[in-house]
Each structure stands twice: as C-alpha cells, then as structure tokens.
Structure 1
C-alpha cells in the first residue's frame, strides 16, 4: 500500500515537473481540438442561412455563370484560407509565436494602419453576420407558424405574422448561450449546429429533386432571369447581389484564426487546419452546388430569396417544419461561432483598460446540473454580452431584409478578410519579392476579388433601398 502511495506521489511530482502534459508552449491549458472539431466549426460557420439563397442567386446568373461562380468562390476561399492558416504562427509553423485572433495576426505581421482597418472590417462583418442570422432564424420560426396556418386554413387566409416576437425569442436564447466563456467550450454546440445544417440542406435538396421528378423537366435558362421578366436595371442589380449572396455563403475567414487556436499539436496547427479546410470546403461546395442547382432546376426564374421559408414548396408541410426548425437550431450555434471573437475582444480591451476593476474580476458560483461543477458567472460578461445581443436583435427588427443583408455582409467581408489581408500577410511572412511572378499573381487575384466585392455591395445596397420604400420599422410583416 505504501509503495502505491509513493508511486502516486512520484507521478504527481513528475506531472508538476513536466507542465507540457497540461499546458501548451504559450502557457495556456492544452488545446484539445482536432481536424474534425475544426471541420465542425467551419461547417457551422459556412453552411449557414446563406445556402437558402443560392437557388435565387443561380436564378439571377443562369446555368453557366451560376455554378461557375460558386466553384470560383470555393477555390478562392480554399486557397486564401490556406495562406491564412500559415499566419497563425510567426515565421515557424511549429514553434513560432502564436496569433490568437485574426487581428493579432494582422498586428504581428502587417502592423500600422492595417490593424485598425482589419478591426473595422472584421467586427463590422461579425456584427452583420449576427444580425443576418437573427433575421434568418426568425424567418424560419415564423415560417413554421405560417406553414401550419396554410395547412389548416388554406393559403392567404390571414396567415401573415410579425417576425419581431421570434427575433426577441432568439435573442433571449443567445443571451444565455453567450455566457459560455470562450470559443474552445462551444465545440458541442458547433457539432449540433453542423448536424442541423446537413439536415435542412438535405431536405431542401430532396424537395428540389422531388419537384423536378414530378414535373419531368429542368427549369431555368443559360443566362438566368430574362429582361422583360425584370427590367434591365433590376437584372444588373440582382446579378451583382447574387455575387454577394454567394460570397456570404463562403464567409468564414473572419473566424479562421480563432478556430485554428483551438487545435492541438503535433502535427502543426497549420497542417491540421489546412486539412480541415479542404474537408469543409469540399463538403460545403457539394451541398451548395446540389441545393442551388436543384432549387433552380425545380423553380426556375421563380426561385425565391429563401428556399425553405418563402413557400416555394408546400408539401409535405411537416417536412418543411422540420427543415425550418433545423435552420433555427443551426443558427443558434452559428450565432455563437461568429460572436465569440467579438466577446473575446471586448473582454481583452476591458481587462487592459481597467486591470483593477472589481466588475471585471468579480464572479459568482451558480449551481449547475447535479454532478457538474458550479458555473462561474462573471458580472461583466453578463452585462456586456447581453448588451451585444440586445443591439443585434433591435437592428434586426429594424431591417429584416434577409437577402439584402446577406448580400451586403458577404460583399463587405469577402475581399478584405478572405482575400486582401491573407494575401498581404502571406507575402510579408514568406518574404515574396515584389514584382516576382508569385507576387504579381497574388495581386491580380486580390484586385479581381476587390472588383467583385464592389459590384456586390452596390447591388445589395440597391436592393435595400428598394425594400425601404415599402417598409415601416417594427410594423411590417416582411
């Protein structure tokens, strides 16, 4: 017995002597993420509400440009994400200094005014995505109510309802979930959300296939929505907006570094992240091509901005309800994936500015489930994160234009965050010579994506202005 005690004491001493068993090289607790948890985070971030607008986007572009542009965006995202993965550590992929956030990477590698510009684009984009997901979740919850009303009373029998109560309900749920301390602890939420995203994407795909089989023909045209069905000006604006919708559907670079910071090593975090990116982009592009193209094949020029909530399909109504419930559950998790970097930024800034504040340090132990340790409730975290959720909920109630918000957020975030900063950081980090072949190629890629982003912003803003002409804040059943 004494021998066993001595062995236990020696093992405990060895563990203390070897802190690498419990801590990483930066002194933080061991990261436990894998390629698969990183893939779950990416899929949760990428296969979001954006997939529901892809049939509409393909309808604006047609059978040639629609799938081609989706593939183009997927290749650009895959390539620039690989460049960004190499920026997690400085200089050395194995032992270099870690960058914990996207902004940390920009500050370490580029510095200067780039840091401020990155912060503006990143956090505006994250706030915009949170607003877009609040709108999308409320539309899905409202669609369940309307679907049941249509089933009982027939279409057009006073089934219009306001989105506002559903936005408030979604906000209340997010207030509770936002108290999860950091990104590393929401892995389970990402896995649930990823499963839900596959669920509703599969349902949308199946309904499209069934409708094509029922009608016996594939709808649509090579050039998309024809002039005559819409005016020439509307055709141009809608084409531009379609670029923004597709860009939004691939938007996750803004949280890539934060996801990479959850991955354990060895192998190097960059190697694991690149593998996770390949898996995730392959899966999401397959789903996007199937959902967008099958939706267009089934509905043609009448493809709606939101495939499952604009009642392009009516039966079986219980399947539509299940799909919309899956969307709402998925967006609950996706909201957290995009909001956690904002929460971490607020916490970091507050601790740096007010290091001795009792509000920041004070915590209360709240009993959790039996058998679980008490939850440490931070008063500052409760106040700051609740204010953020309230802000995004109120803005969502003011501007509930799903398709236009999706287009604007996708366009604003795509070039600076997915292309420009990763390219510039990679050039600086790997010391690529100016005017060399690789440098010229990367600059051409960046400029081409800038043009796409600009036209997408213009098209989406035109859509918002048209919607505002017929909208009354807090009163519309939009």
Structure 2
C-alpha cells in the first residue's frame, strides 16, 4: 500500500483529465481482463465437477450465521452494489469540467447517454456473471473477492497475472475519482486567493522525452498531502468492504438518483403529480430506502470490526 501511495503521488501531479486518457484506457482493459479471468476460472471449476452447498437465499441461518448477521450483511452488500454504480462525480468531470474531454460535435448529451448505457450494461453483465458463477463454484464459502480471497490457487501464473491487472486497474481508478476533487479544490483556491503566487503560480519545466510540463508548488503540496492522508487512513482502518458500502450508501442516492432526477424533471418541465413525476418519485424513494439500509449495514459492520481492530493489520 505504501508503494501504491507513492505511485499515486507521482500520477497525481498530472494536471487534468485530458492527460489521463491513456491511463483510463489501460485501467478499463485491466478491468475487462481480470474479470474475464475470474469468470473463466469459475466456469473451469464448475466444469471440473464442483458441487458446493448453495441455496436460493444464500448462506442459511444456523450455527455459522445468525438471522441478524445475515440481515446486516445483506444491507452492507447493497452498499457495495450502490458504490459500483455511483459514478456521477466522474460524469461531471467528463462532460462539463474546464478541461472538457468531449467535443462539441456530436452533442454531449447524446454522447454521454450512449456511453452511460454501454458502460452500465457492460458492467452489469460482468457483475452478474462474476456473482452467479462465483456462487455456483464456491457456494456458501465463496470468498469476498474471487481472485484475492484465495478462491483459486492454480494455475499460479494466471492468478498472479489477474491480480497484477487488479493493481493496475486500481492505479487508474484512483486517479479517475481523485482528479475531479483535485480540480475542484484548486479551482476554488485560485478564485479565493487569486493574488497568491504560491497557489496560482505555474512554472514551465522541460522534462526529457516528455517536453514542457506545467509545475505548480500548490498542486504538488496539496495533492501529495491528500494522497498521503488517504493512504495512511486506509492502512490504519483496513475495513475494505464496509468502507466501500458506507461510501456507496452516502453517495448513491443524492448524487446518482436524487439530483439527476430533479434536474431532469426541471429541464423537461415535468408537471407535479403527473404519471412521470409519480414514477420518478417512487424510484427516488426506493433508492433512498436502499441507501439508508446500506448505510446501516455498513456502520454495523464497521462497529463489529472495531472489536477486533488492530491498526495497520489487514482484516478484510
């Protein structure tokens, strides 16, 4: 994780999204690769005659799983799913940032609608395949992560390659989510302290084999501090699944459901209490309930993990 943090400190000095197109493409290819490997290995395990214990409702309530624990785990899983689909922060950066990554022709709304449809459809397909084949192959003992949860041991080279792809993907994914935050803070700071040379000053540096690079002391200090803080925080509190679920619960409804629905109804001038308005409100309300349940499950999981918590020790 320290090595990962050092890599992110270096990549975070890239000024904006326009410079990250190659990194984003590599991350997408890596995601497709390790997902395909995971699905292939589970199918191979099934073809080899694996017949684990499975049921329609998952792990049965009994000695190893109480009904209360199963309820909390289900709520936390909803948060994990919500996090996987809450990509609204990236959409804003792609479509309407100062470093707009879309051309004016064809229209941005048509391009984003098509890109979102393809992205969500592809992601859902892989999510479902991984979930269904993974449970079919491992049953109630399915690991939290097929590739890193010691679900597979052979062939070693293929599992190692898949895990390498995961690392590369995470390197790119970290930047995709952090660059909008960097841009927001730096833009706000430039307006707030427009006469501060430390914040607004940019120096051109010639880098061999790269060319001219616009260097900023404020960008270096702020972004390095952010990455360092987030890395240390992740090392101190190694509750991956519960943290992901909590982040998903907190961001899914307001950013991916409520605000987009309200903006659409305002732009399209949808009349109150019309059929479309009612359907939108039902959708928004249902997603709010899911977010609240996911938040409750994730918080309960974090509280439970704290009972056996040891700083800088991986637990999940």
What range is the shorter-chain TM-score in? over 0.9
- Is residue 407 of structure 1 aligned with residue 245 of structure 2? yes
CA distance in 1, matches of 2:280, 2:111: 24
| TM-score, normalised relative to structure 2 | 0.95
The question of whether the paired residues in 1 share the 8 Å contact of 2:205 and 2:212 is answered with: yes
The question of whether the paired residues in 1 share the 8 Å contact of 2:50 and 2:137 is answered with: no
For residue 191 of structure 2, give the secondary structure of its aligned residue in structure 1: helix
Describe how 1:287-326 pairs up with structure 2 within 5 A. Answer: 287-326=126-165
For residue 48 of structure 2, give the secondary structure of its aligned residue in structure 1: helix
Q: Note the residue ranges of structure 1 that are not aligned, 5 or more in a row.
A: 1-166
The residue number in structure 2 matching 1:450 is 288
| TM-score, normalised relative to structure 1 | 0.63
CA distance in 2, matches of 1:233, 1:415: 25
The question of whether the paired residues in 2 share the 8 Å contact of 1:171 and 1:393 is answered with: yes
Q: After the TM superposition, which parts of structure 1 deviate over 4 Å for at least 4 consecutive aligned residues?
A: none
Relative distance call for 1:203 and 1:219 in structure 2 (3 A) is: farther
For residue 374 of structure 1, give the secondary structure of its aligned residue in structure 2: strand
Of the two, which has the highest radius of gyration? 1
- Is residue 418 of structure 1 aligned with residue 256 of structure 2? yes
Relative distance call for 1:477 and 1:247 in structure 2 (3 A) is: closer
The residue number in structure 2 matching 1:145 is none
- Is residue 428 of structure 1 aligned with residue 266 of structure 2? yes
Aligned-residue offset at 1:217: 3.6
The residue number in structure 1 matching 2:168 is 329
- Is residue 252 of structure 1 aligned with residue 87 of structure 2? yes
Aligned-residue offset at 1:218: 6.5
The residue number in structure 1 matching 2:185 is 346
The question of whether the paired residues in 2 share the 8 Å contact of 1:306 and 1:403 is answered with: no
CA distance in 2, matches of 1:301, 1:251: 28
For residue 89 of structure 2, give the secondary structure of its aligned residue in structure 1: helix
The residue number in structure 2 matching 1:266 is 105
For residue 203 of structure 2, give the secondary structure of its aligned residue in structure 1: strand
How big is the alpha-carbon RMSD for the aligned residues of Structure 1 and Structure 2? 1.3
For residue 330 of structure 1, give the secondary structure of its aligned residue in structure 2: helix
Aligned-residue offset at 1:215: 2.1
More deviation, 333-342/434-443? 434-443
CA distance in 2, matches of 1:386, 1:209: 43
CA distance in 2, matches of 1:468, 1:304: 21
- Is residue 185 of structure 1 aligned with residue 16 of structure 2? no
Q: Note the residue ranges of structure 2 that are not aligned, 5 or more in a row.
A: none
CA distance in 1, matches of 2:246, 2:32: 25
The residue number in structure 2 matching 1:380 is 218
CA distance in 1, matches of 2:295, 2:50: 38
The question of whether the paired residues in 2 share the 8 Å contact of 1:219 and 1:298 is answered with: no
The residue number in structure 1 matching 2:236 is 398
